[in-house]
Homo-oligomer: A and B are copies of this chain.
Amino acid sequence: MGKRRNTTVTLKDIAEKAGVSKATVSNVINGNRQKVSEQKAHAIQRLIDTLGYVPNHSARSLSNRSSKIISLIVHTDRDRNVLEDPYTAAFAGALLQLLQQRDYFGMIRCTSGYNDILKNLRSWNVDGVIFFGTFDKDIRDMQERADIPFVFTDSYSSVRRINNVGIDDFKGGMLAAEHLAGHGHRQIAFFAPNPVSSEVDAQRKEGFAYALSKHGVALPERNCFMASASQGDAMAESLLSLPEKVTGVFVTADICAIALIEALERRGVKVPKDVSVIGFDDIPASRLITPKLTTVQQDIPLKARYAVDILMRHLKEPAAPTENVILDVTLIPRGSVASINHNPDAAGETGPFDTNPSLSR
């Protein structure tokens, strides 16, 4: 037959075979049913189905100025595999899934450069963006220049009108402190990724120190360290080289807490018998290790749902009010915290704080 190399069927083809204009076909494709007679709509829809017509996104995006692409921007300085981090992977995966269900396309982009971001958004006609991690510096400027909805996560930006979904980091820190103090720990250490770079970790630390102080427990600065999933050994050494013996540790990321526990065990330091550890996030691995990790849980799927919902609302109605939703966190007692001077086997099942209603999910 007269087939060309490119057999793609276009809207024009449909229009010709149906004996109508392209505008009409366009209308049925886009569901503007009130603009098309029942009869033609049917006929056209049939053509579309039988010919297997697929709209061309580029063309649509070009004339539409809307691409159905949502940029998922992950802040990272070094060039690395960000999905190796379980929290990032779980959150990104949840977002991708929700977006796909709503006929949008999530596009993951790792970058730190503010210009790179803007370039990316414009070149792809991106419809909206969800940010991972802290981008506090240039938020206002980016917002102005992009003119599409932004949703941040875990932002502590002082910009007032901002869409954000975060968690109660301060409370998370408090829960950890109360759990530790409630189990009789008084010599405490704290670990956060990077030298507490982000406000997120600063808040967790503040909440932690605050609740600790209410129990008359101090958190000296020299007991605060940098955490890194790849440097469990360094973490363990820091801890063990402290002049007084620490019995309770709070690490603001499960993945780092797990690395620390591993390094400690390797040195013959038992968790929770010798030292108790609390993590943060509740990644899947936390319930698979031995001992299971006691941790401050954040609801990652819920966070993803809020981020997408807010974004969708602003996509529909650009003038919608900005929203900053802060999700609750809960402490999940498992096996990595023991009571001081108690049988470690009973850890997590005793102590006044396990009856705290906020802890029993």
- Chain B residues within an 8 Å CB radius of A47: none
Residue of B nearest to A264 (CB): B290
CB pair A81 B58 closer than 8 Å: no
- How many copies of this chain sit in the oligomeric assembly? 2
Q: Are A57 and B123 in contact (CB under 8 A)?
A: yes
Task: Tell me which of B61, B92, B107, B262 contacts A288 (CB under 8 A).
Answer: B262
Question: A83 contacts which of B67, B96, B119, B232 (Cβ < 8 Å)?
Answer: B96
User: Is the C-beta of A8 less than 8 angstroms from some C-beta in chain B?
Assistant: yes
Please tell me which one of the listed residues B8, B90, B124 contacts residue A81 in the complex, with CB atoms under 8 A apart: B90
Q: Which residues of B contact A122 (CB under 8 A)?
A: 8, 54, 56
Q: Within 8 Å CB of A259, what residues of B? A: 288
Partner pick for A290 among B62, B100, B265, B284, CB 8 A cutoff:
B265
Using known A-B contacts A58-B67, A288-B262, determine if residue A97 contacts B123 with beta carbons closer than 8 Å.
no
A101 beta carbon closer than 8 Å to chain B: yes
Within 8 A of B (CB), among A7-24: 8
Question: A273 contacts the other chain (Cβ, under 8 Å)?
Answer: no
Chain A window 230-270, contacts with chain B (Cβ cutoff 8 Å), 1 for yes, 0 for no: 00100000000000000000000000001101100100000
Which residues of chain B come closer than 8 Å to A262, judged between CB atoms?
287-290, 292
Report the minimal beta-carbon distance from A292 to chain B, rounded to whole angstroms: 8
CB <8 Å contact, B284 and A84: yes
Q: Can you name 7 A-B residue pairings with CB atoms under 8 Å?
A: A54-B123, A56-B125, A81-B93, A81-B96, A81-B301, A106-B108, A262-B288
Interfacial residues, chain A to chain B (CB-CB below 8 A): 8, 54-59, 61-62, 67, 79-84, 86, 89-90, 92-94, 96-97, 100-101, 105-110, 119, 122-125, 229, 232, 258-259, 261-262, 265, 284-285, 287-290, 292, 301
